Amino acid sequence: PAAPLLRQADSLLERLGMTPDYRAYPEEFTLEYCAHQMGQLGERLDELDRQADQLRQEAADDRHFIQQLERFSSINVDLESLRQLRHMVFRFGNMPEESYRSFREALEKREDCFFFPTKVEDGQVYGCYFALRRQEEVVDALFASMHFVQVPLSQRAEGTAEKAIEALAQEAEADDLSVERIAQQVQELAREEGEGLLMLRSWLCRENQVMDLRRYAARSQKTFCIMGWVPQDGWAEFEAQLEGFGGLDYVVDAPEETGVVPPSKLKTTSLGKIFEPFLKMYGLPNYNEYDPSTFMAVTYCLFFGIMFGDVGQGALLVACGLFMGMARGLWLGKIIACCGVSSTVFGFVYGSVFGFEDIIHGFKILEGDNVVYLLLASLGLGVAMIGYAMLMNICNGIRQRNFDKIFFGPNGLAGMVFYFGLIAAAVLALLDVVNLFQPVYVMLVLVLPLVVILFREPLTKLAQGDKQWKPASMGELLIGGFFELFETLLSFLTNTLSFLRVGAYAITHVALMLVVHALAGSGNLAVLVVGNLFVMGMESVMVCIQVLRLEF
């Protein structure tokens, strides 16, 4: 019941030009009282708004009439006398200049009408024509065929055109002054009723919050019960507030006593706080897991900069992000600004400014074997990131006392030994340093971890001291484990190769800018600007999406 009244209070505050703020309120307020008070205030504001709208409309009409009369001001004739002609009709309007030129001689030869041009403006000839009243229909049809558009003169215009213009201008100014006086009345109303309205709104906020809490409470005829979580460091303050209410009983339980997992409350750095919406979008970590927001923020900015390195475009992204974050209050703006900073830094590394590669010396991607080095570096960066993720998983397993995560899972010690053992042996073999693919190494470093992963379920139960650790069916275990093992090996391969896109997008950016410069030539600044904006808009969105895929 309080929600509609709360919206009405916010609307009234906006109309009064006030910002919502808290004010202390008496407890005897009721919904009926709030509705009555705000209804009266709304009626007063409605009346003032109605008067102001009417005055604005009158002023706009007066200025529109003035604009019409200015095109008629060369005729020094009393307008009322033209309206009262008995034997002739009078029409004022405009026609295309080409039509007037085509029919001018024909009009001059006619004896039943006379056209008097007053002004030529924007390809239109403004003027008036007089016609015998008995020939009114014929003459009107003639001028209609010439695309003559009749403009009715206001009945409020009196005297000559110049006098009418002066009188209407004075009326428009008087209407503007009246609108200003009404605005002052609204300000005075805000000073008189503003504090009371803020008190009403504060009480309605409290009532609305209470109504929302009722959804989470179990209640009977005389009592209610509500459960929730309080941070441990804020419990003392919360308990002091509870003691201030009479008739309240409460029970405090530690999470380990209830067996319920508490909700996650992230404690992160300033940079991690900026990227926290991404983490909430894709899933918060468990209560017993480490907060990955700072790691995600750092690696997100790092990957974005490598894939989209340009000093000029990065600076534009910073400006756009700051505008979105500070002026519009959008959380995405801060993320864009951070990505822009990283893009600018790597732009200096690459020596690229709006696609110009000769302004700053740097690592030129398309020179020599730099493409190969960049792709290999991308793979190395991916391996490092996967390794860090495995370490995080092992640490989370230690906190949770989960032996599967620590030792036997594909992201535990067994998977880590196999993954890095295989990569180390492959790299050393490719570099012709040493051949580690020997029976002992293969059995201990490659085969044994896979066997451990295959039997991870019974091994986990055995480590936990479960007497029922033996599988019910060895065949089912081997078949299911084989497919899971195949999926694990495939995920190791695909996850590692997916980091090639980091270097691939850096190469694509340089190639796209080469195309833009080729189209622009030596002096086409418009193509250069539009091309940079197109590349920046399209590729920044694509890079954001691809980095999110790498992160999650």
The strand pair at 88-96 and 113-121 is best described as unpaired
pLDDT for residue 38: 92
Q: How far apart are CA 403 and CA 394, in angstroms?
A: 9
* pLDDT tens digits for range 350-404: 999 998 888 888 888 888 888 999 999 999 999 999 999 999 999 999 988 889 9
DSSP assignment letter at 446? I
Q: Hey, where are the domains in the chain? A: 2-57+171-214, 76-152, 271-364+525-552, 373-498
Low-confidence ranges of the chain (pLDDT < 50): none
Q: Does domain 76-152 have CATH number 3.30.70.2750?
A: yes
Which residues lie closer than 8 Å to 378 by C-beta, 6 or more apart? 306, 499, 500, 501, 502, 503, 504
Output the pTM of the full model.
0.63
Q: How far apart are CA 421 and CA 81, in angstroms?
A: 106
- Cα–Cα distances in angstroms (integers) from residue 334 to residues 267, 280, 303, 318, 548, in the given order: 19, 16, 17, 9, 16
Nearest of 375, 392, 386 to residue 420 by alpha carbon: 386
Topology alike, domains 2-57+171-214 and 76-152: no
- Residue 516 · residue 532 · CB < 8 Å: yes
* pLDDT tens digits for range 108-161: 888 888 888 888 888 888 888 888 888 888 988 999 989 898 877 766 667 777
Q: How far apart are CA 153 and CA 160, in angstroms?
A: 12
Q: Does domain 2-57+171-214 have CATH number 1.20.1460.20?
A: yes
